[in-house]
Structure 1
Amino acid sequence: MTAPLSRILSRAMLPAVLLYATACDAQNDDSRLKAAFIFNIAQFTTWPPAAAARPLAICASPAHSLWAGLRELDGKMLAGRALSVIDSSTGRPCDIVVYSATAAPALAPAAVPGTLTIVDGARSGHYQGAVTLVEEDPHLRFDIDTREAARAGLRFSSRLLQLARNVL
């Protein structure tokens, strides 16, 4: 390939490469932002006393768009507990289960005491979890269902409840 032709192709491809890089960065930023929300929500959640002695396990599917952002939390400390991010298909106990609104949880949340369910996205008419992350352009918000949290034996601080978009 001649030098002028390679320069022309390089210049023609540059916008596509920049567009792809921007889309990837935006997805990573979205994943990190949602992971930060989950971390902060966990900070203002009270688990049953038996859970306080072990690491705090966050379960999600590696196929979920938040997996990369959640993996960045692995090993961080939260209220004296080390965070551990694990694949939800392993069957290991979870303190926090994160799933997409388009995917059904493996177990009914009420059947898993001490587990905080966080749904990424809202889907009307379906179970939403104790916390639902909702994108309202250009902001990320969250809804809290205190009844679901109570069924799981969890409590949220009043400070967190004040920040929620909706509290049921």
Structure 2
Amino acid sequence: MQVISLPLFWTIVVDILAWFFFHMAISIMCLKLPPAAFRNNAFWSRIYSWEKYGGLWHQLFRVKSWKSRLVDGATLFRKGYQKKSLHGMNRGDLRTFAMETKRAELTHWLSIVPAPLFFLWNPPLVGWLMIVYAVGFNMPFIITQRYNRGRIKKMLS
């Protein structure tokens, strides 16, 4: 329900600034989480048998054909762990990479959460478009993290 009415120009400015703020704040928050926070096998990060070690994601979405075009947000942060390629093939490197895919996946799941707030200053149709944007923008990253983590899980087993 829209509670704040702004002129179109200012609504667009607020939308852009709000998304920038949410993306950056959530990214920084997740970057500050210690690696131990991702050592669990939480329901959202667990790779399930039906995912076929990531094969399902490639089968459904042809992940290999487009994942290299995604921007790695880690390049924006000094402490970020770049996931464009493996940093090594030993078990420690693979575990670190898998843990960082959990961090990235959590970041993108949490980046969807603020979308309903946009109903506060946008008309309902635009509010729904913001939800579509949040899901549409973040799902390719989530799918890629699950695909990569599934492959790593297979390599480690």
TM over 0.5: no
Query: Greater strand share, 1 or 2?
Result: 1
Which structure has the greater CA radius of gyration? 1
Query: Could you state the TM-score of these two structures normalised by the residue count of structure 1?
Result: 0.27
Query: Could you state the TM-score of these two structures normalised by the residue count of structure 2?
Result: 0.28
Query: Greater helix share, 1 or 2?
Result: 2
